Amino acid sequence: MSTAYLSLGSNLGDRLRNLRDAIAQLEAAHSHVSNISPVYESTPVGETREPVPAYLNCAVRIETSLRPSDLLAFTQSVERAGGREPSFRWGPRTIDIDILLYDSVTLDSPDLTIPHSRLNERRFALRTLADIAPGLVLPDGTRLEERLSDPVVAAQDIGLWPTESDESRD
């Protein structure tokens, strides 16, 4: 079995339910979800032709027997099952699943880049990854904490989403 780290995001519909449903679907005969980060709300990153609602994001660690290309096909099927429809780049979506890391694999193909090509630029991806893999060293030798302290990354707006137990206390 290989270890992969995935980033999940949703900014349409019941965002939290979309994340939970996708995580449940990632649990399959060939994949086991072994850790889930807390959920964060983040301001969209990237310029778009129209405004995009805020995202809820989390990361998961999975143990899988799938090769990277098959894992990509599997995550895309989970996205389709979650109602994802084609949109413009960085547009709104019910569910988005990105492969951040896959063992120590580095890959750059037309369909898949591992580590994810924008991992080092996205605070929501780095923060959620650090929550489930503290002390992780990225394939380029950089520690997650170093990337999170980069001023450009640190300036991105994210906030911890309340858990159900937090909501029940209100």
Looking at the annotation, which residues are catalytic? 84, 93, 96, 98
Q: Please write down the HEC assignment for all residues of 125-144.
A: HHHHHHHHCCCCECCCCCEH
The answer to whether the CB of 53 falls within 8 A of the CB of 1 is: no
Could you tell me what percentage of the chain is helix, strand and coil, using 3-state DSSP and rounding each to the nearest 5?
30, 25, 40
Calpha distance 40→17 (Å, rounded): 14
DSSP string, 46-76: S--SS--PPEEEEEEEEEESS-HHHHHHHHH
